[in-house]
Structure 1
């Protein structure tokens, strides 16, 4: 049995079913790995939490839900796709017990296709987090975000992050986040991700998106950029986090790409486990 790996999710009730699908994918593709699941939320009902807890028990995961007062985020920019709960990950070092020294944060719209152990054991060389950037064949978005946010590093996607919580406890301050929200609130496009990059991107180390934060919409881009190497078979065997960015989501009507059926497979496995 390997060292216990801490996984963090911060979400509202609308993402509980996708979370259960994600946990199922973790279980099937990380055999003999010990996990502790941390679910941070503001208003999920106890009976809904219990559903996730029972699934976690069936998957042999440890599970703990932490309910917090999200009133400090009142007035922070949010939109339908990005609710208040998205900000909670920024204060993970403050929210989680000090005994938790590092954690992998994951968005709930992800399938885990391979072992997470390599990322967990990564040496971050004193940085606070490890994350991927999403760039195109010609990277114009990085320069746009650098100008928009006045930063001199890549623009990191916050959907998958290895976080050194001891470093976060030294660096992250609510006062800094609040000031950034007050100063840049109307200009924020992806609110918490913008804040993460603006304040803490300089403490990040980049990891390859093809393995660690694969945007499921961009298959053709990855295939072209790899000169045909990163085909579907490559993804299934090498990608760890398959991220269903954007809309529609794979559990919604209208989602139909190369990876929809993969998601549906884990959805059915989850239903089978829940019913057994």
Structure 2
């Protein structure tokens, strides 16, 4: 199983927490962990050792800033927005698929059902928070003019069909789109993904593969009481701690899934401390 992350030194513990949750809940024989950064991470050696402890293999990928010398960037659109969209350039050519995950997720059930799904002619598999944001979904279609897409996809969890991406995703197209649409982009990398490739993304259920941890009560309501906490613990694969109030921050103790995150986070911190 190939896993992809893009972080800086501020999110090493969070990345390690994601890996802990995957190791605890996913039955796979081989984990290859690729981490893209624009400089060598200070904790790279610690991450490598921790991955080894989890029986995973760590592959740091350091991007040369000159690769994006022609890319339009500003304070709002830093170079990092390109990393997940153009990751295929830096990954081994023999990889046929990889799962990109933000560092603010937990994997609480086996990832295999998602990772092994048939992508056929799709570039990506991703989730739309349709039932949670239906009005916003319509606005985004108008804003990005991608009416053939099923909706507005969240780029925090992306299963990538690398073989097809290498053929269809071109950095020039990405650079040009950002340059030409600066005034309408709100979440740059996510907007670009949806605008250019939204009609080539396979939709997956967000309640299974990109559950917005802020919206537990809403999920329960729209499912007529089915998607309760017990249901989520049994069926949901990926919990996504979207928004600004991250569960690892001090005094951020609200939300029914915060304690679950803190369990994995504190377990990870203890294990990391034992490596020193």
| TM bin (shorter chain) | over 0.9
Alignment deviations for residues 209-261 of structure 1 (CA, whole Å, 9 cap, x no partner): 00000001111110001111111111111111100001111111342211111
Aligned to 1:145: 140
1:183–1:83: structure 2 CA closer, same or farther, 3 Å change rule?
closer
TM-superposed deviation, 1:137: 5.0
Distance 1:16 1:221 in 2: 31
Asked if the contact 1:101–1:164 (Cα under 8 Å) also holds between the matched residues in 2, the reply is yes
| Alignment match of 2:2 (pick from 3, 6, 21) | 6
1:244–1:137: structure 2 CA closer, same or farther, 3 Å change rule?
closer
Q: Does 1:119 align with 2:114?
A: yes
Question: What is the DSSP-based 3-state SS (H/G/I as helix, E as strand, rest coil) of the residue aligned with 1:39?
Answer: strand
Distance 1:236 1:158 in 2: 23
Q: Does 1:246 align with 2:257?
A: no
| Alignment match of 2:17 (pick from 21, 40, 57) | 21
Alignment deviations for residues 78-110 of structure 1 (CA, whole Å, 9 cap, x no partner): 54xx85324201012211011111000000000
Q: Does 1:68 align with 2:68?
A: no
1:119-268 superposed matches below 5 A: 119-136=114-131, 139-152=134-147, 153=149, 154-255=151-252, 256-268=254-266
Distance 1:181 1:143 in 2: 21
Q: Does 1:109 align with 2:104?
A: yes
Distance 1:164 1:32 in 2: 19
Structure 1, gaps ≥5 residues long: none
Asked if the contact 2:2–2:34 (Cα under 8 Å) also holds between the matched residues in 1, the reply is yes
Distance 2:79 2:258 in 1: 28
When the two chains are superposed, the root-mean-square deviation of aligned CA atoms in Å is 1.6
Structure 2, gaps ≥5 residues long: none
Aligned to 2:43: 48
1:216–1:75: structure 2 CA closer, same or farther, 3 Å change rule?
same
Distance 1:120 1:29 in 2: 14
Q: Matched residue pairs, number?
A: 269
Distance 1:137 1:126 in 2: 28
TM-score (normalizing by structure 1): 0.93
Asked if the contact 2:72–2:175 (Cα under 8 Å) also holds between the matched residues in 1, the reply is no
